[in-house]
Structure 1
Amino acid sequence: MKSKLNLFLLISFLIALTLTIWLNYQVTNRIGDLAFNKEIDNSTFKVCDEERITQYYATNSNYQGGKKAIKKELKKTTEQLTFKNSGFVTFRFIINCKGKIGRFRVKTIDSELIENNFEIQKIKTLQTSIENLTKWNAGTWKDKTFDSYYVLNFKIEQGKITDIF
């Protein structure tokens, strides 16, 4: 009887240990995290808490005036750019707790949702235009300010940017 109890306690301990390790991994490693990459990221951009970067919808980080203001400020750039294909360009980046942006990652797909390679110089022009936007609001929750991720999508139809969302 005593050996069965010891075996039960050992198995319970191992299960609890495994669950603890797994939960810790889940909390500290999220899909889509934008870790600093010295080859592509600006070293002067700093996040306030590397361990706690939230999603924009969880802390209401945004651009002053919303997407409408972004469209207005990027209008000149978006009207001048022309592309060979249709599709989508998605920029994902971090708004730090001070309202500065950095750690850009770009994904491009065609209208069939297959990975696409738009002209790199035009993508860089779009990114530079986004980097020049200055009215970012850091995420807040319960009177605390947080770093957060943000996503901007550009829809391209017949070679022209037709929407930003």
Structure 2
Amino acid sequence: MTFPKPLLLLSFLPLLLLGCKTEKQADTQNEYLRWVGDIEHNETTDEPDFKICNGDEQILQYFNLGAGPIFPEEKSTLVETFESKYEPVKTNDQNGFIRIRFVVNCEGKASRFRILQADKDYNEIEFDERITNQLLEITKGIESWKVMYRHEIPVDYYFYLIFKIKNGRITEILP
């Protein structure tokens, strides 16, 4: 006795479906940050008493508020701070950019500092720690950043400084 091919295939379909191993997919909804570049609190490196006023999901980019870069005073004062405190590291091979990105809360206090290092072609590199540690400590030493408002409510925001380094010396501070 022969069965028609379509009927034969249909008879095996339930076996195929039952035989497939099914795995529960991991919930990836919470695996990703809200935006690229969000800075989560790190218990080992961040200040434990630093508070975000409006919740992590409400931290804004400084440019979301319709303002340009906001410095604690004038940018010239910031530049003078680094010029007076930074000790150049004598070297011919420490060239590129060091970005320090951080969160400023509604009280003008900063924390969650993160460093990104790149050569002049924006390839990731590691600078001498004598350079990065100094830049980080000077940045952390700035005690009061501008408080920014949205609809007359003080907000938390991300900010960054980029240091252009040539032969271990700061040649420019951006933005």
Give the TM interval when normalised to the shorter protein: 0.7 to 0.9
- Cα deviation for residue 47 of structure 1 reads 1.0
Q: TM-score when scaled to structure 2?
A: 0.72
Higher relative contact order (CA 8 A, sep 6+): 1
SS state of the match for residue 130, structure 1? helix
**Structure 2 counterparts to residues 11-90 of structure 1, below 5 A:** 29-49=34-54, 50-59=56-65, 60=67, 62-78=70-86, 80-82=87-89, 83=91, 84-90=93-99
Q: Structure 2 CA distance, aligned partners of 1:67 and 1:37?
A: 29
**Structure 2 counterparts to residues 131-142 of structure 1, below 5 A:** 131-142=140-151
Judge conservation of contact 1:47–1:96 (CA < 8 Å) in 2. yes
Q: TM-score when scaled to structure 1?
A: 0.76
Paired residue total: 139
Taking every aligned residue pair, what percent have the same amino acid on both sides?
Answer: 27
SS state of the match for residue 51, structure 1? helix
Q: Structure 1 CA distance, aligned partners of 2:159 and 2:46?
A: 16
Find runs of 4+ consecutive structure 1 residues off by over 3 angstroms.
Answer: none
Amino acid paired to 1:45: F
Q: Structure 2 CA distance, aligned partners of 1:44 and 1:62?
A: 24
Q: Structure 1 CA distance, aligned partners of 2:152 and 2:43?
A: 32
Q: Deviation string for 1:89-120 (max 9, x for gaps)? A: 00000000000000001000011211110112
Judge conservation of contact 2:131–2:168 (CA < 8 Å) in 1. no
Q: Deviation string for 1:49-87 (max 9, x for gaps)? A: 222000012234722333222101121223x22254110
Q: Structure 1 CA distance, aligned partners of 2:130 and 2:71?
A: 25
Q: Structure 1 CA distance, aligned partners of 2:64 and 2:76?
A: 21
Q: 2:154 aligns with which of 136, 140, 145?
A: 145
**Structure 2 counterparts to residues 99-114 of structure 1, below 5 A:** 99-114=108-123
Give the structure with the higher percent strand. 1
Calculate the aligned-residue CA RMSD, in Å.
2.0
Q: Structure 2 CA distance, aligned partners of 1:119 and 1:46?
A: 31
Judge conservation of contact 2:97–2:165 (CA < 8 Å) in 1. yes
Q: Structure 2 CA distance, aligned partners of 1:120 and 1:157?
A: 15
Q: Structure 2 CA distance, aligned partners of 1:132 and 1:126?
A: 10
